[in-house]
Amino acid sequence: MRRTFLSLVLAQCFAAPLCAQFTPSQKLPQERLDALQRMSMPGTEHSRLARREGAYTTITRHFAAAGAAGSELTGKADLKMILGGRFLQEDYRSDKVGGAEGMRLLAYDGTLKQYQCAWANAGATGLVRLEGSSPDGGATVLLNGTLHDADGEPLSLRFLIREIDADRFLAVLGGDEQGQGPRQEIVYTRLKPAVKPTEKPAEKPIGK
């Protein structure tokens, strides 16, 4: 039974019609099929992620262990939901020539009830993977994972994402539970569409 269930999941992942590859004797009970269908559909957590879709400007600040802010860099980021509203994809880049550039995928796994993040950047050839949870329905997401230094030694990574308001959110890489220690803070501000000036109607000449 477990093997058949795994086969169905793999068939779904590779876009094969559900159960099309199996004989009637191999098919799962309808309640299991319904559970599989629910597992694959976006939920309220995904709707919350979709609120962040849009184009943003970013300000990145680096903090040393002593807490004093160091360099400040500006950049841009584009966020959009992909694959039927299941994943939030972020493409980011620094305004500085040769600066940071990369992509992040943020997801909510409805089966495991946890947030997951995969992160790739132009400064490495490996993926950073993180997972975590939210204490407030998705407004704040705390993820933990591991990256590796130049010698291949594992380093723990803490990644916090917190909504500031409808058009701004904060991402913090590193730091501790009190928000202190060496860290990188990125403030995202949504770009608003330019408002076109309202054209005034032409004035009629006096006396006509």
Q: The CATH number of 47-190 is which of 3.40.50.970, 2.40.128.20, 3.40.630.10, 3.30.70.141?
A: 2.40.128.20
The angle, 0 to 180 degrees and rounded to 10, between the axes of the packed helices 30-40 and 2-13 is: 40
Tell me the CB-side half-sphere exposure of residue 118, using CA atoms within 13 A. 10
Task: Say which residues have a Cβ less than 8 Å from residue 197's Cβ, sequence separation at least 6.
Answer: none
Question: Each residue of 174-189: pLDDT tens digit?
Answer: 988 777 788 899 999 9
> In which residue ranges of the chain is CATH 2.40.128.20 found?
47-190
Look at 21 and 103; give whichever has higher pLDDT: 103
User: pLDDT by residue (tens digit) across 51-86?
Assistant: 999 999 999 998 886 656 677 899 999 999 999 999
